[in-house]
Amino acid sequence: MKRILVLASGRGSNFRALLEASRHGVLRAEIAALGVSKRDCGAVGAAEAANLPLLLEPSEADILAFAKAQKIHFVVLAGYMKILSKHFIDALRDDKGLSQIINIHPSLLPAFPGLDAYGQAFRAGVREAGVTIHLVEPEVDGGPILDQKSFRIDRMRTVEEVESRGLPVEHDLYSKTIDWFVNGEYQLQNRGSPEGKVYVARA
Ligand code: GAR
């Protein structure tokens, strides 16, 4: 089983969903530890209840040392609100150079990168919002996309409504996508784009 270190900052609903998915075999990987950028992060209680090792406000060097010592294969960001350095990202690549850090972003990237993506979509008046799971590259919210899922928001009246529709989509798509990615069920494609970007297609 691949071993995953999850990093979180906020409410922790994605972390709890990943723990559940791992327990039920929807996510065929071991959640091995949690790192949090704030001690009062909502994910901490769930990690303690599961007896998981906890990294409190770790530096990037702390995380890399832990990952090496504990044989962590993948780092998963679950609402981790820190920008990662190129050095950190480059330290976590496989032998083909593919980033081993996975992120969830609450929009249909490349639309609405950055903070408050549900709010951005709501205020822009778009018909559909969505969720993107992608690999982390130094360009923020710009790494290879693993999967996306959209949902209608044109009848919604508040950002809270958009978010409460989006969160269950996040929890479901994140577990399923991490599952196939960490278990190597994909092919790499180079579509010869001018930027020479690599695409990751589910096998
Ligand atoms: C989620 O909506 C996640 O997609 C978002 O933060 C929230 C964390 O919620 N992530 C980003 O915006 C990353 N740029 P959670 O703490 O309940 O999982």
pLDDT, tens digit, for every residue of 97-134? 999 999 999 999 999 999 999 999 999 999 999 999 99
Q: Is the CB of 11 under 6 A from ligand 1?
A: yes
What single letter denotes the amino acid at residue 83?
Answer: I
Q: pTM to 2 decimals? A: 0.96
Distance between Cα 81 and ligand 1 center (Å):
8
Q: Is the pLDDT of residue 195 over 70?
A: no
For the chain, what is the largest distance between any 2 Cα atoms, rounded to a whole number of angstroms? 50
Residue 190 pLDDT level (bands cut at 50, 70, 90): confident
Ligand 1 proximity of 165 Cβ (cutoff 6 Å): no
**One-letter amino acid of 35:** G
Q: Is residue 14 in contact with ligand 1, taking CB distance under 6 Å?
A: yes
Domains of the chain, by residue range, sit at 3-202
The two tokens of residue 85 are 């350095």
73 is catalytic: no
Per-residue pLDDT averaged across 143-154, rounded? Answer: 97
Architecture of the 3-202 domain? 3-Layer(aba) Sandwich (3.40)
Residue 191 CB neighbour total at 10 angstroms = 9
Q: Which residue in 13, 89, 23, 22 sits closest to 45, CA to CA?
A: 13
Is residue 120 in contact with ligand 1, taking CB distance under 6 Å?
Answer: no
| Overall average pLDDT of the 141-152 stretch | 96
Instruction: Locate the ligand 1 atom nearest the alpha carbon of residue 163 and give its number.
Output: 2
Per-residue pLDDT, 189: 87
Distance CA 169, CA 51 (A): 27
CA distances from 195 to 17, 72, 108, 144, 201 (A): 35, 30, 20, 12, 18
Counting atoms of ligand 1 from 1, which one is nearest the CA of 12?
A: 16
Atom of ligand 1 nearest to the CA of 17: 18
